Amino acid sequence: MYIKINNNHIELIKSANPYLIFATTFVFIIGLYYSLFQSPPDYIQGDSMRIMYIHVPSAWFALMTYSILAGSCVLWFITRNPLFNVVARSIAQVGMVFTLMSLITGSIWGKPTWGVWWVWDARLTSMLILFFLYIAYIFLWQAISNKELASKISAALAIIGFINIPIIKFSVDWWNTLHQPASISKLSAPSIDVSMLIPLFLMTAACFLFLVTVSLIRFRLVLIENKMLRTSN
Amino acid sequence: MLNLIKRDLLLSFYSSANFFFTVSFFVLILILIPFAFGTQSDQLKLLFKGVVWIALALSIIITVDRIYNADYEDGNLDIIMQKNRTIEYLVISKYVTHWFIYCLPLLVILPILSFLFYLDYLETIQIFINLFIGSFGMVFIANFVSALTLGAKRTIFLKAIIMIPLFVPFIIFGSDAGSWSILLGLSMLSFVISIYVTAYGLRLYGE
Amino acid sequence: MNELLDMGGYAIFVWSSYGIFFFSLIIFLLINILNLRKYEKIFNKTKKKID
């Protein structure tokens, strides 16, 4: 399963880039139209639930990106194919942005629904920890001067963080039941109407396209960075 | 392995300011509680149970630069690793010495401090047991972070960012008196992960 | 139009969250594109020197 990246692949990625950017903006605009104009307001939360259409996709992709990051780090350790390291490094920063966005939009959504900006609930706390894991991954790589070592070390850290996230989720859940028996965040999730599913699906697709676009741009960037490091050594 | 432990203990004994600094740091953080929150005895009791864990975490974080860095910079680590084929022995001896030098003094001073904060004997014993178990887990984590970040010099903040998320479960379970068994499980888990990761990091830097 | 802008009384929350979201995504995309261009320029220069 040894995939090798050659110049043809890079040219293909390069030529796909404008189309991807166009597709991302197009789907985002349709998604915005549906989520702001075409969908009905929620009958409990009113119009504030429109924040869900950007909050939920960014939270999903924050988690998915970390899974891809940790998975590619594991695959890199198993197969020793440097492609996986490049994938991990190109995807990490997009994940960090998505995590930050889900935290900010979630907090803005929390103010009208719960009355507070932040709740010390398992989901929110583990997202916050996830953000710091992304920061640790990115900045540890930058802090170590020997870049080959730096990738190995930060990959090990990403895998440890992947083990740590479920432990934190579990422990904060346990801690919550101890400290605040009636958590306000435990609103039962009602089944979502189809008219709300369409904008959610569109925004998810748009976020996915954004993830792919920026990851491919960063993929090229990381490859050039690697080449420059190799020539300078 | 015993030689290594003896060597590290002697080294820290000759520069004996080390114990003194971490103990003073630990005590000073706890002394800040009454200054910040007032001297009501009920409140102090409650706050002490939590802040003692923050103080322990911080005093382990500030010692993380001293585990492998001195040996790595003067080249002793290479010599030790060439002599001992199994790096795991070196790692375990470092766990033992790090715990002895930086955590044992804190545990010794803890009963005195808890009387200053009006805790009774039973509560002191519970906190002591939890800190005893949890400090091992925190030492394991500090060791592997130290081994992984040997190449990143003067980055104590980065190390803190890496370590604090890993300390979160310990602090959650540690500040509750009844959950020492979960804490023990967490410490064992962190031992298993830490010994592999530390040996991996040392092998990378030793090559 | 005013009804839309008002968002049923939640105007600040909805518009600010959408604004922050799209602003930071665009900024992030631009940063990466500009970085890529900068790196490509430097890379091509050094490549010419080596050749």
DSSP symbol at B101: I
Residue B54 has pLDDT above 90, yes or no: yes
pLDDT in tens, B123-132: 899 999 999 9
Longest dimension (CA), chain C: 65
What does pLDDT average to over chain B? 87
d(Cα A83, Cα A92) in Å, to the nearest integer? 14
> What is the average pLDDT across B146-168?
88
CA atoms within 13 A on the CB side of A76: 23
Answer yes or no: is pLDDT of B109 > 80.
yes
Question: Which whole number is the average pLDDT over B115-140?
Answer: 90
Tens-place pLDDT, residues C2-48: 666 666 677 788 888 999 999 999 999 999 999 999 998 988 888 88
Cα C35 from Cα A41, distance rounded (Å): 41
Q: How confident is the model at residue B88 (pLDDT cuts 50, 70, 90)?
A: confident
Chain C adjacent subunits, 3+ CB pairs under 8 A: A
Contact B186 A167 (CB under 8 A): yes
Percent of chain B with pLDDT over 90: 34
Question: A175 or A151, which is more confident?
Answer: A151
In this structure, are residues A55 and A207 in contact, taking their beta carbons and an 8 Å threshold?
Answer: no
ipTM: 0.88
Any chains having at least 3 CB pairs less than 8 A from chain A are: B, C
Query: What angle do the packed helices B121-148 and B156-174 form, to 10 degrees?
Result: 150
Average pLDDT of B33-57? 88
A143-147, A185-189, B11-15: least confident range: A185-189
Residues in A touching C43 (Cβ below 8 Å) = 224, 227-228
Residue of chain C with shortest Cα separation from A207: C25
Where is pLDDT greater, at A187 or A113? A113
CB < 8 Å to B174, chain A: none
Q: Give residue B184's pLDDT.
A: 92
Integer angstrom CA distances of residue A11 from A173, A216, C32, C36, C44: 48, 12, 18, 14, 16
Chain C positions touching A21 (Cβ under 8 A) are 29
What does the pLDDT read at residue A2?
Answer: 63
Kindly list the residues from chain A whose CB atom is less than 8 angstroms away from the CB atom of residue B149: 140, 143-144, 153
Q: Which residues contact B13 (CB under 8 A, 6 or more apart)?
A: none
Interface subset of C 1-51, CB within 8 angstroms of A: 4, 7-10, 13-14, 16-18, 20-22, 24-25, 28-29, 32-33, 35-36, 39-40, 42-43, 46, 50
- Amino acid A185: pLDDT: 44
- Which pLDDT does position A9 carry in this prediction? 83
Q: Which of A232, A233, A122 has the alpha carbon at shortest distance from A186?
A: A122
pLDDT average, residue stretch A31-60: 82
Going B165 to B168 to B169 to B174, the CA torsion angle's sign is positive
User: Are C40 and A101 within 8 A, CB to CB?
Assistant: no
Which structure tokens are listed for A18?
A: 């404008």
Nearest CA in chain C to A218: C32
Q: Region A44-62: what's the mean pLDDT?
A: 84
Q: Which residues of C touch A224 (CB under 8 A)?
A: 36, 39-40, 43
User: Of the candidates C13, C28, C32, which has its C-beta nearest A221's C-beta?
Assistant: C32
Alpha carbon separation from A186 to A34, A101, A190 (Å, rounded): 28, 22, 12
Task: Considering only the beta carbons, identify the residue of C17, C29, C39 that sits closest to A224.
Answer: C39
Nearest one of B27, B6, B163, B187 to B107, comparing CA atoms: B27
**Across A98-118, average pLDDT:** 88
Nearest CA in chain C to A33: C4
> Is the predicted pLDDT of residue B87 greater than 50, yes or no?
yes
State chain A's mean pLDDT as an integer. 84
Instruction: Please report the pLDDT score of residue A210 as a whole number.
Output: 94
> Averaged over A144-156, what is the pLDDT?
88
Residue of A nearest to B183 (CA): A171
| Residue A57: pLDDT over 80 | yes
Overall average pLDDT of the B33-50 stretch: 86
pLDDT above 80 for A3: no
Q: Categorize the per-residue pLDDT at A22 as very low, low, confident or very high, splitting at 50, 70 and 90.
A: very high
pLDDT above 70: residue A183: no
The alpha carbon of residue B41 is apart from the nearest alpha carbon of chain A, in Å, by 21
Residue A189 has pLDDT above 70, yes or no: no
Query: Nearest by CB to C28, which of A28, A97, A225?
Result: A97
Pair of tokens at residue B62: 């500030």
Domain residue spans of chain A: 17-35+49-180+197-232
| Spatial CA neighbour of B148 closest among B91, B82, B75 | B91
- Is residue A187 predicted with pLDDT exceeding 50? no
Please name the residue of chain A whose CA is at the shortest distance from the CA of residue C5. A36
Partner-chain contact C36 A55, CB within 8 Å: no
Q: What's the CA gap between A220 and A120, in Å, rounded?
A: 39
| A18-27, A66-75, B142-151, C10-19, range with the lowest pLDDT | C10-19
Q: Tokens 């990381």 map to which residue?
A: A222
Option in B148, B161, B176 nearest A153 (CB): B148
Mean pLDDT of B90-110: 90
pLDDT band for position A72 (50/70/90)?
very high
Q: Helix B87-98 and helix B76-83: axis angle, to 10°?
A: 130
Q: Does A132 touch chain B (CB under 8 A)?
A: yes
Contact C7, C15 (CB under 8 A): yes
Select the more confidently predicted residue: B177 or A144. Answer: A144
User: Least CB-CB distance to A168: which of B152, B169, B197?
Assistant: B169
Instruction: Give the neighbours of chain B: at least 3 Cβ pairs within 8 Å.
Output: A
Q: Which of B92, B172, B202, B73 is nearest to B140 (CA)?
A: B92
Contact yes or no for B171/B121 (Cβ under 8 A): no
Q: How far is CA B190 from CA A161, B55, B135, B140, B165, in A?
A: 12, 20, 11, 6, 13
User: What pLDDT does A184 receive?
Assistant: 43
Which pLDDT band, with edges at 50, 70 and 90, does A178 fall under?
low
More confident residue, B189 or A6: B189
Please give the structure tokens belonging to residue C47.
Answer: 């490549």
**Which of A28 and A50 is assigned the larger pLDDT?**
A28
- pLDDT classification of A100: cutoffs 50, 70, 90: very high
Cα B72 from Cα B153, distance rounded (Å): 11
The pLDDT score that the predictor gives to residue A19 is 93
Instruction: Give A174's contacts in chain B (Cβ within 8 Å).
Output: 172-173
- Helix axis angle for B41-61 and B156-174, nearest 10°, is 140
Of C26 and B89, which is predicted with more confidence? C26
Q: Provide the pLDDT confidence category of residue A1 given band limits of 50, 70 and 90.
A: low
Q: Concatenated DSSP letters for A41-91?
A: PBTTTBGGGGGHHHHHHHHHHHHHHHHHHHHHHHHHHHH--HHHHHHHHHH
Question: Which residue of B140, B166, B171, B198 is the best one to mutate when testing the A interface, meaning the one whose CB has the most A CBs within 10 A?
Answer: B166
Return the pLDDT at A43. Answer: 67
Residue B197, token pair as written in the block: 């990761």
